[in-house]
Structure 1
Amino acid sequence: MSYVDLITCPICLEHFTKPRYLPCLHTYCEECLSDYISAAYKKDDKGFNCPTCRAFNRVELSESFSAKKTANGFPINHLIMTLLDRKNLENKDVNCFSCSKRGRDAPGKFWCYSCSAAFCENCGEFHTSLPILADHRIAPIDESTDASVISLTAHDVCETHPGKKLEMFCHDHDLPCCATCTMVTHRKCESVVTLEDAAKSFKDTDSNDTEQVKDEIKSLIAEFDSKLNDSTKKYKELEEITERHEREIKEYSDKMVNHVNKLKEDFEKTLAEVQSKKMKDISNRKKELSNMQSIVSNSELLLKAVEEKCSRIQLLSLIPKITKLTDEINEKLEIMKKDPITQNIKVIIDESIEECEKIDSIGKIIEN
């Protein structure tokens, strides 16, 4: 999987349009997410599951708060926007956004970093002439020879206050923030510095921090692979054990008549229920591990792409989010270790089965 996959919506399989990301860092088009929430919303639980990893997101829909508003409430993924800009600038074959909306084809000559869209010469000039768009950054696409440099800071904007540039960094909360955030939310924080100073300090230590997170992700992925393989092995062994005991049961049941046949049916039903329960437990554990692995794998790809394609500021913003996710996953793994799922079923056949009229069960089923 390459970074191009990161800019493809898992729902519509097209390049993202207004990418919005969930707390698990999985990203979807705003419209795709809105449609998905409408279809997958669980009224009783008041929320929906992530389409990719099934992580639950608690939201409450109402007549005044629709699925569209809910989707709009999730943050814009500016990291993905940066990757989209990188791809478009590298290709240099995009069409004019405004003309395409009017059913016309015109090659893009200018790129607006604020809109993440290309414009032809006429539309580009008109775009810059509007007072409301005066602060938009526009540059000729043909002159964009170094896409990595030009797009690095295009989307370093505040998620809380749309349109505000990130200018400061709060060490107390480990978050980049805009001027408004600094005055409103972080005015009592003791350690608030400029982004340039924070980035410079991070640059001196980011190698170790980034490598540590990457090593942690690799370790988690290896552990998931091991646990998933173990779950698959347990599932197969459980089937083999169950089949073996079913053969044992049949050998004894063939000696019985009438009342024994009824006992046989009851016993096989009990065994099937135990098998179903254990298989369900193993399947649920396997599914949970797969969903957690999806979060870690996505984090690895995102971290790699941001490290290679985006700014240090964006990398600085991403590290705490991934660290939080890995900490949560490690906690879940510790809980799983304390509550292991076994595949063993032990069947003890009653040796006095010949006296079938005197017994009320073929044997015992023991889980261990």
Structure 2
Amino acid sequence: MAECGRPPELDLHLLECPICLERLQKPKSLSCLHCFCQECLGTYITKELPGKMASATSFPCPVCMRVTSPVNPVESKDKWAEHFPTNAVIKDLIQLKERSSGPLYCKPCQTKGNMTNPARFWCKKMDETFCEACKIQLHDNIHSDCDILDISGCGGVRPNQEKSAPRCDQHDEKKVWYCEDHQLLGCNICIFKNHRRCDEVTTATEYFQKLKDESRLEDMQDMLKKNTEVIDLIVKDFDEQLQNLVQNQEVALQSITDLRQKVDKRLNTLQKDVTDKLIASFKEEKINMEASLRQCERLMNSMLNTMKSSVTAVERNDHIETIVLYQRGQAEVESCKALITEMRKVVHVRQH
């Protein structure tokens, strides 16, 4: 059995909410595949969206800004978040992580006296962890229909990978097909009912190989890396502008205080009005810049995570996860380009 030299740990960034940066609670997935706490997503929809966007019938993803429509548009906005699908895989991994305070070891090996052999797989149905050898020799011979999760941090190849394919929400069948026309993964029933007339329908394995052969995965990872570097520069620029803004505010307020000491009591009312407007202006500008900064940081962190996860998925030969991460990476690259263009416009306006 292949060893990686240490007990495997879960990819913790996959279990964190991009908004609160804490462990995901009731993880909800949007159509762009980004996942958030139900409460964080609900707060974002009802309170954080600015101006006209707050009254719209759709909203942008907090990370990649792709426009997302609610599952049930007739529901009030404070109910939108709870109707998005729960990410079952993330939920299962969180459940496993919360029950395990330390490294995960193979249960069958422990019964044989080997107490520290790292586990690479978790069977939710049996609620047991296995190393690669015990999974093949013990688990797969008896529980061939289990959805078993790869919890390894070693980046190895998952044996019997087709048994771990996610199931279709509508038909409870394994997703083994990919429609390039609609950019969707589907089960046999989905393909037969909805994609019979599509021109480009292949198995997930074939599409995975196509992505590798055409270097599209490498191109996506390269674009994620380059755009992450650009976003990092924007974040640093925002930090500098925020510092200057605070300094300018202090200077401006001190000037107002000095002026107040020089003017007659008859100007007190006028002075107070000017001060309030100035503070409100700085406050509004600071809020806008901090909001833009948070957006940049979310997108940057998500692109780093997508890039890391896609590299790991390719190393593991994980077809489904690779395709999903490829789609997510494409959305993030496009959102990053749009965000950079928008930020440049804002900087240009401020300079003039």
Per-residue displacement from partner, 1:178-214 (whole Å, max 9, x unpaired)?
A: 2112211110112223444434433322xx2222211
Q: Contact between 2:123 and 2:129, CA under 8 Å: does it hold in 1?
A: no
Partner of 2:128: 118
- Matched length: 306
> Alignment partner of 2:157: what SS?
helix
Which residue identity does 1:152 align to in structure 2? Q
Partner of 1:98: none
Question: Distance between the aligned counterparts of 2:25 and 2:247, measured in 1?
Answer: 49
Structure 2 CA distance for partners of 1:277 and 1:215, relative to 1, 3 Å: same
Aligned: 1:21 with 2:40: no
For structure 2, the 5+ residue unaligned runs are 1-8, 48-53, 109-118, 149-154
> Alignment partner of 2:262: what SS?
coil
Partner of 2:330: 323
Question: Distance between the aligned counterparts of 1:149 and 1:260, measured in 2?
Answer: 76
Partner of 1:100: none
Deviation at 1:282, TM superposition (A): 1.6
Per-residue displacement from partner, 1:200-258 (whole Å, max 9, x unpaired)?
A: 433322xx222221122122222222112111211221222233334444444433222
Partner of 2:210: 201
After the TM superposition, which residues 285-296 of structure 1 pair with which residues of structure 2 at under 5 Å, given as runs? Answer: 285-296=292-303
Q: Among residues 264, 270, 278, which one is paired with 1:263 in the alignment? A: 270
Q: Contact between 2:165 and 2:175, CA under 8 Å: does it hold in 1?
A: yes
Q: Contact between 1:21 and 1:75, CA under 8 Å: does it hold in 2?
A: yes
Per-residue displacement from partner, 1:59-103 (whole Å, max 9, x unpaired)?
A: 44979xx999836x345448987xx89xx9x954348xxxxxxxx
Aligned: 1:277 with 2:284: yes
Per-residue displacement from partner, 1:262-295 (whole Å, max 9, x unpaired)?
A: 4333322232222222222222222222233343
Superposition TM-score, scaled by structure 1 size: 0.62
Q: Among residues 164, 181, 187, which one is paired with 1:172 in the alignment? A: 181
Per-residue displacement from partner, 1:81-136 (whole Å, max 9, x unpaired)?
A: 7xx89xx9x954348xxxxxxxxxxxxx9x78684743899xxx9x999xxxx861
Q: Contact between 1:19 and 1:80, CA under 8 Å: does it hold in 2?
A: no
Higher CA-based Rg: 1
Q: Contact between 2:204 and 2:320, CA under 8 Å: does it hold in 1?
A: yes
Partner of 2:106: 93
Question: Distance between the aligned counterparts of 2:105 and 2:25, measured in 1?
Answer: 19
Deviation at 1:163, TM superposition (A): 3.5
Structure 2 CA distance for partners of 1:294 and 1:22, relative to 1, 3 Å: farther
Q: Contact between 1:169 and 1:177, CA under 8 Å: does it hold in 2?
A: yes
Instruction: Indicate the structure whose relative CO is greater, using CA pairs within 8 Å and at least 6 residues apart.
Output: 2
Partner of 1:233: 240
> Alignment partner of 1:263: what SS?
helix
Structure 2 CA distance for partners of 1:258 and 1:200, relative to 1, 3 Å: closer
After the TM superposition, which residues 80-159 of structure 1 pair with which residues of structure 2 at under 5 Å, given as runs? Answer: 91-94=104-107, 115=125, 117-118=127-128, 136=145, 148-150=157-159, 152-159=161-168
Which residue identity does 1:305 align to in structure 2? T
Instruction: Give identity over the alignment, percent.
Output: 15
